[in-house]
Structure 1
Amino acid sequence: MIKRIFTAVLFILALAVAVLFTAMNPGEIELELGYTVLRVPLGLAFILAIALGWLLGILSAVPRLARLANERRRLRGELRKTPGATELAVPDERG
């Protein structure tokens, strides 16, 4: 519960900082994207850059998280096959 409240407060704080940054920097910049040039407000460019970095960071973690989940599944299976594993088994989150 506290984690959700902390996350919500952090999100609202980040949103407030983004709005404040956008209000304080009303200028526009040109983004050259290959064959096209876009004129966007500086604040929007800043927010998009942060969002894109966040998304790429999450996507770069997916392969490692998938490997860890696969290894965890394999180790749980091996533990179940071990004699006397019922006393040592860690409860599965699925029930």
Structure 2
Amino acid sequence: MFDTSNRPFINGNPEFWTTGIKIEPDGRKRYKCSYICECGHRGKRYIPLGTDHVTCHSCEYHNHVEPAGPIDLYGLPKRDRHGNFYTAISRRW
């Protein structure tokens, strides 16, 4: 679990709300991913690069992860208009 108490703030909000990136204490980065499950639940998760699915908070279906935009030279997707690096869609595994 992320400890946000020692994280920097931007305009009174946690930094990751603005950047879309959570940085773990050991330096690993997790990127914002939004999903809409077939059960109707909408949610977001912060995932490492290379993650192929996210699990719905409500029904535990696996949702297939896709980049939210074109991939840059560093392997990072361009953020969409909602600030997501990734989006996920419903797919039974």
**TM-score normalised by the chain length of structure 1:** 0.21
More helix by share: 1
**TM-score normalised by the chain length of structure 2:** 0.21
Q: Which has the larger radius of gyration?
A: 1
More strand by share: 2
Higher relative contact order structure (alpha carbons within 8 Å, sequence separation ≥ 6): 2
